[in-house]
Amino acid sequence: MSHTATPPALSRRHRKKQECQVQIEAAALFLFKKRGLDATRIEEITERADVAKGTFFNYYESKHDVLATRCRRLARSFLAFAHSDPTRPPRRQLFAFFTAVEALFRKEGATLLSLYSDVLVRPDLRAMDADVEEKIINYYGSVLEKGRATGVFRDDLDVDLATRVILDLWSATLRLWVMERASFGLAEELDRKLGILIQGMAKA
Domains in the chain: ranges and CATH: 11-60 (1.10.10.60), 64-201 (1.10.357.10)
Residues 6+ apart with CB under 8 A from 165: 197
Q: Indicate whether 131 pLDDT > 80.
A: no
- pLDDT-derived band at 188, boundaries 50, 70, 90: very high
In order of 20, 76, 126, 130, the CA distances from 133 in angstroms are 29, 11, 10, 5
- Whole-number pLDDT of residue 3: 53
Q: Indicate whether 149 pLDDT > 80.
A: yes
In order of 15, 30, 136, 155, the CA distances from 199 in angstroms are 51, 44, 22, 14
User: pLDDT higher for 2 or 158?
Assistant: 158
Q: Indicate whether 2 pLDDT > 60.
A: no
Q: Indicate whether 1 pLDDT > 60.
A: no
Distance CA 39, CA 16 (A): 29
Distance CA 105, CA 176 (A): 14
User: pLDDT higher for 195 or 108?
Assistant: 195
- Whole-number pLDDT of residue 98: 92
Question: Average of pLDDT values for 1-8?
Answer: 51
Predicted structure pTM score = 0.76
How confident is the model over 77-106, as pLDDT tens digits? 878 877 777 788 999 999 989 998 899 888
In order of 34, 88, 104, 138, the CA distances from 83 in angstroms are 36, 10, 16, 11
Helical H segments across 11-158, by residue range? 12-35, 42-49, 53-59, 63-82, 90-108, 110-121, 123-126, 130-149
- pLDDT-derived band at 175, boundaries 50, 70, 90: confident
List the one residue out of 97, 67, 74 whose CA is nearest residue 166: 97
Q: Beta partners for 202? A: 153
CB 63 within 8 A of CB 37: yes
How confident is the model over 23-82, as pLDDT tens digits? 999 999 899 888 888 899 999 999 999 999 999 999 999 988 888 888 778 778 878 877
Handedness of CA 183, 94, 191, 141 (dihedral sign): positive
CB 112 within 8 A of CB 74: yes
